[in-house]
């Protein structure tokens, strides 16, 4: 048995409530990486999924050294259906109590000027893989009658967003999915929450070719989300997300779209950077 890092009484109760092992996809960078550290700090053993094996290995070593928990890695590209199926098979050997689906990416620029392939890949990663993994893992948690699930929504999920139309649509899908699943799963003792941050200081902006400007720390996003799991259906972590949402309160969708048009004109730099 691995020694556990020191945690607060609340963290320990949460750990015992959900189970001993947490799964984090998209763990190699940004929000996923922050979730991996936060959950390990709370005492969870963690299973990390991402594409880049070298980064995963380095992250696993860092987490073991800092938090004294068990860490397993599963390198995989969740944009490929067969890779998702392989990951799910490998996960059968773990007593998972918590699932954080942080893998995802975006693009920016006029939809008709983007190459089609990245837009379809985004749907596969942001939506298809999330549904496939949530379906299988939620069934396992329902049988256990306990567990937690975190899916990544976004501030852009609540209205259409010009110059990021497809990305915003994938996040609207996730937001709606969580809202529908929460009452279904709650009766079985399984909690689910949508994490809907605003701009976050991570690798997302570079890949989406966006200028992020003011951005929240991934650590704040992870910490506030896990703290609210089981208490709310959606969390807007960080002061920036809360401020932006407050500014939108009571505004019709067309008005929100108009404001997001102005915001994206200052953020979007064009097509996805494939470098």
If you ran DSSP here, which 8-state letter would residue 187 be given?
A: T
Cα–Cα distance for residue pair 108/164, rounded to 1 Å: 5
Cα–Cα distance for residue pair 107/119, rounded to 1 Å: 8
Please give the span between the terminal C-alpha atoms of the chain, in angstroms, as a whole number: 42
- The 10s digit of each residue's pLDDT in 9-47 is 444 444 547 999 999 999 998 999 999 999 999 999 999
| 44 noted as active-site residue | no
Angle at 168 between CA 262 and CA 117, to 5 degrees: 110
Residue closest to 31 by CA, chosen among 241, 227, 217: 217
Q: Does residue 71 sit in helix, strand or coil?
A: strand
- The 10s digit of each residue's pLDDT in 226-270 is 999 999 999 998 777 787 777 777 778 887 788 777 777 666 554
The pLDDT confidence band at residue 206, using thresholds 50, 70 and 90, is: very low
Q: What is the predicted pLDDT for the residue at 17?
A: 76
Question: What average pLDDT does the segment 171-175 reach?
Answer: 97
Answer whether 0.75 is exceeded by the pTM: yes
Task: Choose the catalytic residue: 167, 198, 209, 234.
Answer: 167
Q: What is the predicted pLDDT for the residue at 216?
A: 76
The H or E element containing residue 99 is strand 96-101
Q: What is the predicted pLDDT for the residue at 148?
A: 97
Cα–Cα distance for residue pair 219/13, rounded to 1 Å: 21
The pLDDT confidence band at residue 119, using thresholds 50, 70 and 90, is: very high
167 Rama class: left (phi>0) / alpha (psi -120 to 50) / beta = alpha
Residue closest to 151 by CA, chosen among 34, 27, 24, 18: 24
């Amino acid at each position: 048995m691995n020694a556990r890092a020191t945690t607060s009484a609340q963290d320990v109760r949460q750990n015992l409530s959900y189970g001993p092992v947490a799964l984090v996809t998209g763990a190699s960078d940004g929000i996923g990486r922050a979730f991996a550290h936060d959950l390990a700090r709370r005492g969870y053993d963690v299973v990390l999924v991402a594409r880049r094996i070298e980064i995963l290995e380095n992250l696993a070593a860092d987490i073991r050294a800092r938090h004294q928990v068990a860490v397993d890695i599963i390198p995989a590209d969740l944009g490929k259906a067969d890779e998702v199926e392989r990951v799910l098979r490998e996960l059968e050997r773990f007593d998972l109590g918590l699932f954080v689906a942080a893998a995802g990416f975006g693009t920016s620029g006029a939809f008709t000027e983007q190459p089609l392939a990245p837009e379809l890949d985004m749907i596969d990663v942001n939506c298809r893989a999330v549904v496939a993994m949530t379906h299988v893992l939620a069934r396992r948690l329902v049988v256990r009658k306990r567990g937690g699930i975190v899916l990544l929504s976004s501030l852009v999920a609540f209205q259409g967003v010009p110059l990021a139309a497809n990305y915003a649509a994938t996040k609207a899908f996730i937001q709606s999915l969580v809202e529908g699943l929460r009452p279904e799963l709650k009766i079985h003792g399984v909690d689910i929450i949508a994490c809907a941050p605003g701009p976050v200081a991570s690798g997302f902006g570079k890949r989406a070719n966006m200028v992020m400007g003011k951005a929240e720390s991934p650590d704040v996003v992870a910490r506030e989300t896990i703290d609210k799991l089981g208490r709310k259906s959606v969390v807007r972590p960080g002061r920036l997300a809360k401020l932006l949402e407050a500014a939108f309160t009571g505004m019709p969708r067309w008005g929100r779209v108009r404001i997001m048009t102005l915001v994206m004109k200052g953020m979007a730099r064009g097509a996805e950077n494939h470098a």
